[in-house]
A and B are shown apart, each in its own frame.
Chain A
Amino acid sequence: MMRRKQGTMIALAALTLAFSVAGRAEAQGLLFWSTQAKPVEETQKMRTEVLGGFGKPVDYYGNDAGPFFTRIQAELKAGKGTIALLGGLHGELASLSSDLVDLKDVLSATGDAKINPTLVSLGTYGTAEQKYLPWMQASYVMAANKEALQYLPAGADVQKLTYDELIAWGKAMREATGSPKIGLPAGPKGLLHRFFQGYLYPSYTGSVVTKFRSPEAEAMWNAFKMLWEEINPASTNYGFMQEPLLTGEVWVAWEHTARLQDALNQKPDQFVTFPAPAGPAGRGFMPVVAGIAIPKTSPNVEEAKALAAYMLKPETQIATLRATSFFPVVEVTLPDDMPAAVKMSGATVAAQSAAPDAKPSLLPVGIGGLDGKFNKVFIDTFQRVVLRGQDVRQVLDEQAATLKDIMTESKAPCWAPDKTSEGPCPVE
């Protein structure tokens, strides 16, 4: 009985607190409703160091996706609201895209800030309107031990590598050292599925879903089998590539920027970072893009637009990087006091998305709870084709059937790099 009373008290206290916090937010200036910078320290830095310079009071809230959607959807349904500005990932804002204000005029008002054009075009969702403005980005890049550079094939530029050159490089390293020196995070905690979805498939087929079982995909898996010969077999145990890079087990690796930072910060002089290789269809890469949008129910669209423009200023972008570890989407010169990992991977992330042959491929959009099954399609294909040596054609056909079921069940239309579709994204 005592327990229960206490529980009720705590719940009541929490409710009161929640109401008073929400009440305070509405009493003050613009409400910036976001899914990013959720940890308390990051939220605090966003409020003081990033938004403090705007001149007008802004209230920043970082939420989990659940509460984020509950409130904005309720406001959209009611037709009026208090949220002035939305911040979220490309895939999150996608489901709200028909209720967002066109931000084209903000884009032209940002003056000389050079915003990454690839990311700007992602913000249209294939429509004529600018549904969101890119806000910040992260990505997956390559990192190499400087020891490895001497084995680069003749004529290859590490900043503009191709997959064929990567294979040749791996072969040269293996022959020189006696063991394969390229590593991929193929362990249970690794992000290898993103490598297939965001890097290999777009680079070889220009698609992820539609051309899953195409002849190009078949050629791709055969090429990847050749690359696998040069990959350290311990890769199937790797989670974060910063560890084998630091021990020297692996000299060249592909990894998320956040999972490389220990290696880059501990031995900044030992490593270089560079964009992912290119294949026949371009330089596939997966930007993790967060954007800023204004809902049609925003109480003050003009001030919200001014805030959106402020967020794209180079100084604001650098302050955002300090607050969140996400990289700028505009051209900036990073100050010298940044950690080595930020400087190195920041430059590479920018170079990768600005490459002339860049082929951005997004995190899955609109498949909701089927995300895990979507990833399983790619990991299963890898395990069957590469680790167990099963027939490529047969595995692709079987896995394509599973992929088709996922798309039909979720009714998700295609996302970049696949061309937009009416209805569920087709698997040809």
Chain B
Amino acid sequence: MQRLLSSQKVLPYLLILPASLFLAAFFFVPFVQVVLAAFTSDDGFTFTHFRTMADDWKFMPALSNTLGLALVVVPIQITLALVMASLVTRLRRGRDVVLYVFTIPLGISDLAAGLIWFALLEQNGFLNSILYGLGIIPGPQNLLDYRNTAGLFVAVVIAEVWRATAIVLVILVAGLGLIPKEYDEAAEVFGAGPLKRFFLITLPLLRPSLQTALILRTILAFEVFAVVAVVAGNNLPVLMGETYAWQFDLQDHKVASAYAIVILAISLAFTVFFLWVLRDRTREAAA
């Protein structure tokens, strides 16, 4: 035993064994079960569940809403987080306080975040009360009206940006801390302005962090669920909401699994895309 533990060959595997077992039991096994559920029926292999899913009138709206949300939310979050991260790293005093304040939404569950924004935006919400109190509107306005899909979409975007920009910010602040100050100082000596330094020095050196942040946020964006459910109810179907509905309301875990596979496929495609676009080209050039 003693020898086994001290052996350089075996030790690493022993160390990752618990984590691997955990992943196998709680991620890999359920994953295989989901795949089996999505592609099989009593008669063996089938696409029936995918057909049921695609034939449902809510599938196309759910797909386009989810993609739309991801494509709008993620770029806003990355831009915003870059600005906020640059701001935070430049602060001399109170840096930690500002960082804590920025990351408060990180500590709030997405359901709670949804409820906060619903309380702000609903017909008797805070926004309506303020506007009415200031005499800007004659009476309570229903901002989350089912007829106003664009309004619902914007409300979800605002709530999502507020809720999940902080995670990008944390990754980028860490990434900025890793960039040696000498590059920036050297560029300054050669007369490069702040914008030029940001685009030619900071951004390229930040690529690994950006890659991580993009992949993480995009995958999470395709799983958007609780915020939409609270703010927009049934009026803005998304893929994850439909998965939940098929699993729990309609008690059909096979179609729910088909939805899960679709979400997985989209997430995988985007992950591969980001890995490829943001790959390290300097090494390719050297080779």
Judge whether A233 and B57 touch: CB under 8 Å. no
Judge whether A384 and B57 touch: CB under 8 Å. yes
- CB-CB under 8 A from A234, the residues of chain B are 122-123, 142, 144-145
- CB-CB under 8 A from B251, the residues of chain A are 369-373
Judge whether B147 and A373 touch: CB under 8 Å. no
- We find that the number of chain A residues with CB closer than 8 angstroms to chain B is 23
> By DSSP majority rule, is chain A's interface helix, strand, loop, or mixed?
helix
Contact pick for B233, options A179, A236, A373, A375, CB 8 Å? A236
Asked if B124 is at the interface of the complex by the 8 Å CB criterion, the answer is: yes
Judge whether A373 and B252 touch: CB under 8 Å. yes
- CB-CB under 8 A from A67, the residues of chain B are none
Interface string of B125-147 (1 = CB under 8 A from A): 00000000000000110101111
Judge whether B235 and A236 touch: CB under 8 Å. yes
- CB-CB under 8 A from A179, the residues of chain B are 139
Q: Look across to chain B and name the residue whose beta carbon is closest to the beta carbon of A405.
A: B52
Q: Look across to chain B and name the residue whose beta carbon is closest to the beta carbon of A370.
A: B251
Q: Look across to chain A and name the residue whose beta carbon is closest to the beta carbon of B230.
A: A188
Judge whether B250 and A387 touch: CB under 8 Å. no
Task: Name the residue among B140, B146, B248, B251 with the largest chain A CB count within 10 angstroms.
Answer: B146
- CB of A192 to closest CB in B, whole Å: 10
Q: Look across to chain A and name the residue whose beta carbon is closest to the beta carbon of B140.
A: A249
- CB-CB under 8 A from A178, the residues of chain B are 139
Asked if B234 is at the interface of the complex by the 8 Å CB criterion, the answer is: yes
- Which chain B residues in 232-264 approach chain A with CB under 8 Å? 233-235, 248-252
Asked if A38 is at the interface of the complex by the 8 Å CB criterion, the answer is: no
Interface string of A308-329 (1 = CB under 8 A from B): 0000000000000000000000
Q: Look across to chain B and name the residue whose beta carbon is closest to the beta carbon of A383.
A: B234
- CB of B262 to closest CB in A, whole Å: 19
A387–B229 alpha-carbon span in the complex (Å) = 17
Asked if A376 is at the interface of the complex by the 8 Å CB criterion, the answer is: yes
A234–B250 alpha-carbon span in the complex (Å) = 25
A233–B123 alpha-carbon span in the complex (Å) = 11
Given A372-B249, A373-B252, A375-B249, 18 more pairs with CB closer than 8 A? A179-B139, A187-B234, A233-B142, A233-B145, A233-B147, A234-B122, A236-B234, A236-B235, A237-B122, A249-B140, A370-B251, A371-B251, A372-B248, A373-B251, A376-B249, A383-B234, A384-B57, A387-B146
- Identify the A interface with B (CB < 8 A): 178-179, 187-188, 232-234, 236-237, 247, 249, 369-373, 375-376, 379-380, 383-384, 387
Sorted from nearest, which 10 A-B pairs have the closest CB atoms?
A372-B250, A236-B146, A372-B249, A369-B251, A234-B142, A233-B145, A373-B250, A188-B233, A234-B123, A187-B233
